[in-house]
Structure formats: C-alpha cells, structure tokens
C-alpha cells in the first residue's frame, strides 16, 4: 500500500487493536494467476500473530492459496473532506480514512478438531453478551455436519501496514476546521474520523511541547507539501 509518511501508522498495538475492531476483512490471493478476493470474518490471535477464518468449500480460492503470500484488507471509518471547510479557495477536496493491510502466508487446517476449535473462537468473538448461542452438546453433531462444507485456514502475519489519513499534512488550524465540520454531520463514519483527528491533534500538541519544531517541518505542515490530500 502506498503510504505517504505523514499518514503512516507504525504502532503495532494500535494496528492490532484496529484489526480486532474492524475484523471483517477482504482476503486477496491468486487462482490460476488471476487475483480473487473473499469477504470474511476473521479472528486475530495476538500471541501467535495469525488470523483464522473459513472458506466455503465451494469457493475455489482455497484450492491454490496454501503457501501463497496473501493480502488481507481491513477498512475502518472514512469520509469525504470538502475543501469548502478550509480557510482558502486555493484547495481541493480529499478523503480521510483509516485502513490496515496484512500480508502473510496461508496454511489450511486439516484436522476436524482444529476447525471446530476455530469455530468456537469465532462464536465467542462475535456473539454479543446478551445472546446465548454457543456450540455445545445440543448442536455439536449439526455443526460437525456443516463442517464438511468449510475449509479452515490460518494466515501467519509477515507484515502489517497502517494508513491513518487524517489531514496531518495540513496545519493544526485547518485540521480543527475539518473536525468541527465533521462533528456537524449525522454520520458514524464522520464522527469517528473527527474523533481520530481530534485525538491526533491533541497528541501532536503534547509532542510539540516536548521538542522544538524544525523550520522545514513547519513549512511542510503549513503548505501540505509532504503528501496529497
């Protein structure tokens, strides 16, 4: 993923937290040299640094995926940014968003008990506390029957990339104007992008007090020369 330096997220725990929150991903690999993608709920294992999930057996993507380096795309909040929110007409609109790409090698699960254990983990992750569904003695044989139509897999994470595009290449004053405009929009994505931008501004303010800003940094931040948008 192309990530201009101002937008790069390197903090590993932040990236993993994001994956756990926005865990419905897009898994991309190749079948007969053609890129294919499947939208899947995934479960992150932080200790083993892997993702687990399941293909439908009728989905041919699994047939050639083992041993490939695959890509998983996790999309977070995003929103249009109107240049009318800026203090000048010498500007253009853009789009703010947060996304994570995970690259890794895929292994297929071969043991039925391993697949069943991964189903238990997925149910535990996605069932809300007020719901009571679980895999137990009342439905285990039914679940085992359905497992014949699934192919479980594990993706060993080799590399994680994070894009936090939150207008960091604009001045703090302009970022505040964007935040205020977003907070007036009745949209969950707008509210979340505004929250992330405000947090980023507050963190930048604290860090700015800790070290002097070099002249060239101040110029780049004010003019947006580091990156587009």
Q: Tell me, yes or no, if the pTM score tops 0.95.
A: no
Cα separations in angstroms, 129 against 122, 125, 132, 134, 191: 14, 10, 7, 11, 26
Domain contains 37: yes
Domain contains 219: no
What pLDDT sits at residue 223?
34
pLDDT tens digit sequence for 128-173:
887 778 899 999 999 999 999 999 999 999 999 999 999 999 999 9
Domain contains 70: yes
H or E element, residue 52: strand 50-56
What pLDDT sits at residue 209?
52
Domain contains 135: yes
Asked if residue 175 lies in contact with residue 201, where contact means CB atoms within 8 angstroms, the answer is yes
**Positions of the chain with pLDDT under 50:** 210-229
Domain contains 162: yes
Domain contains 213: no
Domain contains 131: yes
What pLDDT sits at residue 42?
98
How many whole angstroms separate alpha carbon 180 and alpha carbon 172?
12
Query: What residue numbers bound the domain in which 90 lies?
Result: 5-168
How many whole angstroms separate alpha carbon 217 and alpha carbon 185?
32
What pLDDT sits at residue 227?
46
What pLDDT sits at residue 213?
40
Domain contains 82: yes
* Total number of domains constituting the chain: 1
At 84, which CATH number?
2.30.110.10
């Amino acid at each position: 993923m192309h990530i201009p330096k101002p937008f790069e997220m390197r903090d590993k725990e932040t990236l993993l937290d994001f994956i756990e929150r926005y865990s419905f991903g897009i898994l991309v690999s190749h079948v007969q040299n053609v890129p294919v993608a499947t939208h899947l709920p995934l479960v992150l294992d932080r200790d083993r640094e892997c993702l687990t999930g399941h293909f439908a057996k009728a989905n041919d993507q699994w047939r050639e995926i083992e041993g490939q380096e695959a890509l998983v795309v996790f999309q977070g909040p995003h929103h249009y940014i109107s240049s009318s929110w800026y203090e000048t007409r010498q500007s253009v609109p853009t789009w703010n968003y947060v996304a994570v790409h995970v690259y890794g090698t895929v292994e297929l699960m071969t043991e039925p008990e391993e697949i069943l254990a991964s189903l238990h983990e997925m149910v535990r992750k996605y069932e809300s506390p007020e719901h009571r569904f679980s895999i137990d003695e009342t439905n285990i044989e039914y679940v085992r029957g359905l497992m014949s139509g699934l192919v479980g897999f594990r993706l060993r994470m080799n590399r994680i990339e994070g894009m936090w595009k939150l207008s960091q290449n604009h001045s703090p004053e302009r970022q505040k104007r964007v935040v205020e405009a977003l907070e007036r929009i009745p949209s969950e994505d707008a509210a979340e992008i505004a929250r992330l931008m405000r947090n980023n501004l507050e963190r930048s303010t604290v860090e700015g007090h800790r070290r002097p800003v070099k002249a060239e940094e101040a110029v780049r931040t004010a003019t947006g020369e580091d990156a587009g948008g």
